Amino acid sequence: MSTQNDFAPIVGQTQLSSVDGQAGRLAIRGYPIEELAGRVTYEEAAYLLWYGELPDTMALTDFAGQLASRRSLHPASLELLKACAAERVAPIDAIGMAVGTLGLGVAQDDAPMTLVARFPTLVAACWRLLNGHAPLEPRLDLGHAANYLFLLDGRLPSAGRVKAVETYLVTLIDHGISASTFAARVIVSTQSDVVAALAGAVGALKGPLHGGAPGPTLQMLLEIGSLDRVESYLRDRLARGKRLMGFGHRDYKVRDPRCDVLAAAAQAVYQAEQNVATYALARRVEEVAVRLLAAYKPGRRLYANVEFYASLLMHGAGLPAELFTPTFAVARAAGWVAHCLEQQRANRMLQPQTVYTGPQGRRWIPLEQRPAVRRTQLP
Amino acid sequence: MSTQNDFAPIVGQTQLSSVDGQAGRLAIRGYPIEELAGRVTYEEAAYLLWYGELPDTMALTDFAGQLASRRSLHPASLELLKACAAERVAPIDAIGMAVGTLGLGVAQDDAPMTLVARFPTLVAACWRLLNGHAPLEPRLDLGHAANYLFLLDGRLPSAGRVKAVETYLVTLIDHGISASTFAARVIVSTQSDVVAALAGAVGALKGPLHGGAPGPTLQMLLEIGSLDRVESYLRDRLARGKRLMGFGHRDYKVRDPRCDVLAAAAQAVYQAEQNVATYALARRVEEVAVRLLAAYKPGRRLYANVEFYASLLMHGAGLPAELFTPTFAVARAAGWVAHCLEQQRANRMLQPQTVYTGPQGRRWIPLEQRPAVRRTQLP
């Protein structure tokens, strides 16, 4: 235990990414997200986050090769996923359980690379086992995004699907100090390790307030089904006091800056898959929803959030809704690792000052003399 | 995602326990720790933390029975521990990996009880597998502390050892919002689950700045070995600028209030085991260390911390040093769960405001046109 007492209110400081919720801007290492998304691979974005610069060709080749060579899982990870499949554990919960095993047989120094490399393999193996299929061996000749798609169904993905998923992974790679990132930083701040920190991060991510509920956004879209039902469906939902899924964000008071890049990538993949109707439907839903929200909830400034176009894009790229949150974790893995490395350099334990608000000065009474307690449910 | 923006500096509020670092006081639900330690069982202390009152006889019998009936592990937990043993993973790391599996086959509502009930089984199974022994089946007729000791070596523990370990478990059951507790609260604050939160908590606990380095304290004591070597050993260590293990605490500027109760329990167990010399040595080390620290580090106010007497006690009760941190986790399990339940009621996402301090406004350059990057080690 430390002998310091240097408490300061815990405000996250970072040089990794910046979020401006009023202006609607997100930048990774100073690059606005629209400079990167659709232009760089996930490997390039991860390199940028970790080293502060976009890689040149040689550095990128080396980095991507290092990642590719670390993709295979430890057998114990697969065994645990099998047990989870037998118990019908939801993918994100199974992945949360299994993240800790990604460190098996890996030296501490090698954990950052290995965690990021193995994450897509873990998600894909989880999904295949849950559906009664044997996991596949990673392809070393494919990039991070393409290999992820290959591992899910064993088919070489189309360039369009790869581009869509790559854009998603880059766009979601980091977002300031979110709750999951904060959990990871609290954990490494005790000088614990990066594997433990990522397990904690996935634990936080899977909560519905964070990344754990993207399915309903797509479900709402599919329920609406056609352009002529948009206005009546949304009005009915608002009239019944229900939330419009995919709108409003705790940080952004304007349209989420990730919407544009994800919408562009979604448009491309729906065109490639010859399903422009679904894309057109989503654009109409956004347009009508923003208008209705301004009328029904004046002053609240509710706009499309990242989930709205992320779920549209992932659906278009052929990812099942159960993998939306796990794929969010695949994307954020490099960001979490970057924050762990940054926190390790800061070398300050993240622990809040405690204010106690309960009773004081009570005295123990022997068991037999205690007054009867009122039996209650767990508090 | 929430649409709120109610950020406030994150200062932990709790009604579970209070820490007064200036006066050296710790109270659980308003009971000073010295009112409870040595007087109540772990089950009573857990009940107190969760429900706010010490149980009466009927409530305690019911609660203890509920816990006892939930002690057996899911087979997948054992499989994972076997894989960890094969890889020679340190107990606390293996336990960190396996905590997530404690939720397998358990309904959400049943997780708090089950987590606490299964924790000693997990630690003992981990230890036995690492040492080439088959795990044992929990004994339903034993209390929480006695069952833990039984599961380690298959022998019915003496009353003295049970009392010592019980006192340790009660004394360490909660301590305001420590880093591990904070990690757990951040995780459940996204509406994630208690199992995920405890996995994160163990991840934080195992960091050397938190609970991950209690071994060296005992090692220092054993190195000193005899009363006549105390002063010269400690002077030599201080002269070489090395820390005295087991002294100084980030919260306490006086003697850690847990020292008294742990020292008393340690004295009893060393007497029972007819090894009073080691206990006497520890008392002398504290006395001399405090005197020397005041001279060598004036104004720093360094006193014995919880680790000093905790490691003495656990050694006296026959626990190996590799299990000191895992046993800390066994103790804190009920505290972590209590904080998760409290955080769930608070229903506020714990996420710090981010201050970005890196470069801004950068523009993407195509890969081939980028300047050569300087190859660096990971930041």
Annotated catalytic, B287? no
Nearest to B367 by CA among A34, A60, A162: A60
CB B31 within 8 A of CB B48: yes
- Taking the Cβ of residue B368 and every Cβ of chain A, the question of whether any pair is shorter than 8 Å is answered with yes
**8 Å CB contact of A212 and B192:** yes
**8 Å CB contact of B180 and A190:** yes
Beta strands in chain B (DSSP E): 12-14, 17-20, 25-28, 31-32, 354-356
Q: Which helix (H) or strand (E) holds A337?
A: helix A324-346
Residues of chain A numbered 177-206 and touching chain B (CB < 8 Å): 177-180, 182-183, 186-193, 196-197, 199-200, 202-206
Q: Which amino acid is at A61?
A: T
Residue B7 has pLDDT above 60, yes or no: no
Pairing of strands A31-32, A25-28: antiparallel
Residue of B nearest to A87 (CA): B105
- Taking the Cβ of residue B8 and every Cβ of chain A, the question of whether any pair is shorter than 8 Å is answered with no
Task: Compare CB distances from B55 to A27, A302, A373 and report the shortest one's residue.
Answer: A373
Q: What is this structure's pTM?
A: 0.94
Residue B375 has pLDDT above 70, yes or no: no
Q: What's residue A105's pLDDT?
A: 93
pLDDT band for position B377 (50/70/90)? low
Residue B4 has pLDDT above 70, yes or no: no
**8 Å CB contact of B199 and A96:** yes
Q: What's residue A2's pLDDT?
A: 32
Q: What's residue A54's pLDDT?
A: 96
pLDDT digits (tens, 9 = 90+) for A97-108: 999 999 999 999
**Inter-axis angle of helices B306-316 and B258-272, nearest 10:** 20
Averaged over B54-77, what is the pLDDT? Answer: 97
pLDDT digits (tens, 9 = 90+) for A132-189: 999 999 999 999 999 999 999 999 999 999 999 999 999 999 999 999 999 999 999 9
- Nearest CA of chain A to the CA of B250: how many Å? 4
pLDDT digits (tens, 9 = 90+) for B304-320: 989 999 999 999 999 99
The structural domains of chain A, ordered by start, are: 57-210+328-345 (1.10.580.10), 214-316 (1.10.230.10)
pLDDT band for position A255 (50/70/90)? confident
- Among A43, A44, A286, A307, the one annotated catalytic: A307
- Taking the Cβ of residue A100 and every Cβ of chain B, the question of whether any pair is shorter than 8 Å is answered with yes
pLDDT band for position A3 (50/70/90)? very low
Q: What's residue A298's pLDDT?
A: 92
Q: What's residue B92's pLDDT?
A: 96
**Inter-axis angle of helices B215-224 and B276-296, nearest 10:** 100
**8 Å CB contact of B209 and A190:** yes
**8 Å CB contact of B191 and A178:** no
Task: Compare CB distances from A203 to B192, B351, B367 and report the shortest one's residue.
Answer: B192
Residue B379 has pLDDT above 60, yes or no: no
- Taking the Cβ of residue B361 and every Cβ of chain A, the question of whether any pair is shorter than 8 Å is answered with yes
Query: What is the rounded CA–CA span in Å between residue B345 and residue A247?
Result: 25
Q: Which helix (H) or strand (E) holds A182?
A: helix A179-188
For B299-332, give the DSSP string: TS---B-HHHHHHHHHHHTT--GGGHHHHHHHHH
Backbone angles phi, psi at A158, to 5 degrees: -65, 155
Q: What's residue A268's pLDDT?
A: 97
Residue B253 has pLDDT above 50, yes or no: yes
CA of residue B142 relative to chain centroid, distance: 22
The count of other CB atoms within 10 Å of the CB of residue B371 is: 9
pLDDT digits (tens, 9 = 90+) for B335-351: 999 999 999 998 788 88
**8 Å CB contact of B191 and A200:** no
Pairing of strands B31-32, B25-28: antiparallel
Task: Compare CB distances from B14 to A56, A58, A356 and report the shortest one's residue.
Answer: A356
Q: What's residue B2's pLDDT?
A: 32
Averaged over B173-194, what is the pLDDT? Answer: 96
Q: Which residues of A224-234 are buried (b: 16+ CB within 10 A; e: fewer)?
A: beeeeebbebb
DSSP annotation of A247 reads B
Residues of chain B numbered 279-318 and touching chain A (CB < 8 Å): 300, 302, 305, 307
pLDDT digits (tens, 9 = 90+) for B231-246: 999 999 999 999 999 9
**Inter-axis angle of helices A91-99 and A324-346, nearest 10:** 30
Question: Positive or negative CA dihedral for B269, B275, B277, B281?
Answer: negative
Mutation to test the B interface, candidates A20, A187, A344, most B Cβ within 10 Å: A187
Backbone angles phi, psi at B349, to 5 degrees: -75, 130
Averaged over A253-259, what is the pLDDT? Answer: 89
Residue B1 has pLDDT above 50, yes or no: no
Annotated catalytic, B43? no
Mutation to test the B interface, candidates A48, A190, A250, A297, most B Cβ within 10 Å: A190
**8 Å CB contact of A187 and B207:** yes
Q: What's residue A5's pLDDT?
A: 32
Distances (CA, A) of B274 to B221, B229, B271, B316, B317: 18, 22, 5, 10, 12
Query: What is the rounded CA–CA span in Å between residue A249 and residue B38?
Result: 50
Q: What's residue B9's pLDDT?
A: 52
Residues of chain B numbered 101-130 and touching chain A (CB < 8 Å): 101, 103-105, 112
Question: Positive or negative CA dihedral for A10, A16, A21, A22?
Answer: positive
Residue A124 has pLDDT above 90, yes or no: yes
